[in-house]
Structure 1
């Protein structure tokens, strides 16, 4: 009996300590309540299909995570890797070489009219990389006391202005070890501190175009260069925003910002212009019922943030990309419900191929066009 009482006391002590930890241990995020729309499921234009199962693969050696890919002005394929390396290769994957290494994590890049690359590095800010691979800082802050914490995606307009997303105004990947941890903190918090910024090379000024986004992610320019399409990963939306706006709050300004897609079946990531007016988007993962179910329960999300990361429900793998036009019609949809190619973040389209971006894949996936 004495042994039983001792064991019961120890168990009670452990349970009390665990409960205290789960409700009281300090965490960096301060979750807020929000109201997600009911998940639409895989219906209508997103009817379940297996068009991504036919993916072919380009080996990339010890590298992984081809998060973003662009065909450069030299006709070669450039791909950003988790290591900080930007690989350059032929369109078929041949003759691979490291074009540059930012020693950070590039999540998006684009070329200007002179062939110079502008890269959004989540660890560093916006960088310029010349044809020799030399890296230099372009901007890492809006003002002295307003740093760019999470440079994510980027596009260069014909007039030379560089538009890019700053995914979170709260959590910088360089402070939290990697991009995933910072994104998890931001999306579970739901404070909507993401924004769209613009850098003007003629004045060397960085300004806020729009703010109030829950993890601002992919960005693309409209065909007339007057609007920006922006992925709001944390709330399953894609916005159309006036590119000329400054300090616009998307939550209140319905004249210059409107959601083109209000209720996607997954988390939208990169946006890339394709051919014939298409804009491609990758859905990183499908909607997670546990995440939507805790939207009105900030206390539950605070508990989740105290758990080991492998215990946090992040949803099942599901490979999914689709294309839409500028009025919001889905024109193509490619899926693989098995999720064999993990965390599809975008698409680069050429006349011959579709290259599929991925945050963590050990190869470059592609389909013949």
Structure 2
């Protein structure tokens, strides 16, 4: 009887404790929001509820191929975010510590140049120099002898703070994505990626810049983009495809012809966080992407309160988790899914196409890797020598003399 009579008192005590804990939590959240300024200055997030991501037909999903990746140069290169291949079949990549590395036919690596910052997108310009989209610096060039030059650091009266990818037109025009004007290694040092902060603010602040190598002038070509990342010119060069990482989509921007100045969505509600974009000889478009973060999609992005809280967490907390896993989505010229290769860990950031293989880039957590490419086109399989792809990558033989196992 004593126990029974005391039960309501115990319940009331537990309720008081729970209410006190809740009040303490609310007070802590309010204190965090009111007294701890967010990085990057003013923060005015906008809510957005993402879709779940479109489903890929199970018959088009390969869950096993990722397990067959093999090291290319392994630990010798850290953070090879993008890869470009020269006319001699030698891959080039940028590293986390600001170097441009070239892989020799022997399999050895050499440092071509130290460019500082965080080299991301790469492409060869018409003069043979390697163009570098360098996060926190801008657009650079590296000569075959390793001489480094800064081509542009500003466009539209603003600094280029988050250079990400680069593509080159047949007339020599260089297209450069500038992902975000606020969040980069200058403002928040030490992170592998700054897209989370763009996710949290939720505003279209990125742009694509056109650089004229003849005049040296840089202009804003496209604005109001959500973390523009990979760039791909259409085969007739009338449009640009741009991966918008923090909106799970690819947008198409017409830059020439009757539709110049128009934009449209090419692919929406992609089941991953897009990074690079590459087209092969057969016209297929390959899209490396990171797995979505369910808690971010379900709880943080649909409102603004948790955006305010999350952005104020220490960068070490936000960047402390293991690198994300990911997949490679392949679509045709109309955006229809051809296949999805899943289970890559860490996720693939960019790919270069080699004879019978992908050469895989990654933001962090691995060196260069390769994986055999399934379902290659007969035209590509029959080809020999070095054939230029429309993505500015090359379709080249395995540089070590034989295809990987």
- TM-score, scaled to structure 2: 0.78
Asked if the contact 2:239/2:252 (under 8 Å) is kept, the reply is yes
Please give the residue correspondences for 1:158-237 in structure 2 after superposition, counting only pairs within 5 Å: 158-178=170-190, 180=192, 182-237=194-249
Moved more, 210-219 or 33-42: 33-42
Q: CA deviation at 1:51?
A: 1.8
1:90 matched to 2:84? The reply is no
Does residue 107 (structure 1) correspond to residue 120 (structure 2)? The answer is yes
Contact 1:285 1:316 in 2 (8 A): no
Partner SS state of residue 235, structure 2: coil
Aligned pair count reads 349
Distance 1:171 1:117, change over 3 A: same
- Provide structure 1 residue ranges, at least 5 long, that are not aligned to the other structure: 1-7, 246-252
Larger Rg: 2
- The answer to whether the 8 A contact 1:285-1:315 is kept is no
1:249 is matched with none
CA distance in 1, matches of 2:108, 2:322: 37
Q: Give distance in 2, aligned partners of 1:233 and 1:214.
A: 7
Q: Distance in 2 between matches of 1:126 and 1:84?
A: 14
Secondary structure in structure 2 of the residue aligned to 1:358: coil
CA contact (8 A) 1:108 1:153 kept: yes
Contact preservation (8 Å) 2:136, 2:160: no
Residue 142 (1) aligns with residue 167 (2): no
Q: Alignment RMSD, CA only?
A: 2.8
Q: Normalised by the size of structure 1, how large is the TM-score? A: 0.85
Structure whose residues are more often strand by fraction: 1
Matched, 1:67 2:81: yes
38, 47, 69: which one aligns with 1:27: 38
1:122 and 2:135 aligned: yes
**In 2 relative to 1, CA 255–195 (structure 1 residues): closer, same or farther, beyond 3 Å?**
closer
Q: Does residue 362 of the first structure (1) align with residue 362 of the second (2)?
A: no
Equivalent residue, structure 2, for 1:4: none
Cα deviation digits, residues 138-196 of structure 1 (max 9, x gap): 001014x4111100000111100000100012223222214546322122111110111
Task: Kindly state the Cα deviation for residue 294 of structure 1 after the two structures are TM-superposed.
Answer: 2.6
Distance 1:66 1:284 in 2: 16
Q: Closer, same or farther in 2 for the Cα pair 1:136/1:33, shift >3 Å?
A: same
Partner SS, residue 194 of structure 2: helix
Seen in structure 2, the aligned counterparts of structure 1 residues 110 and 40 have a Cα distance that, compared at 3 Å, is same
Decide which of 324, 327, 342 is 1:320's aligned counterpart: 327
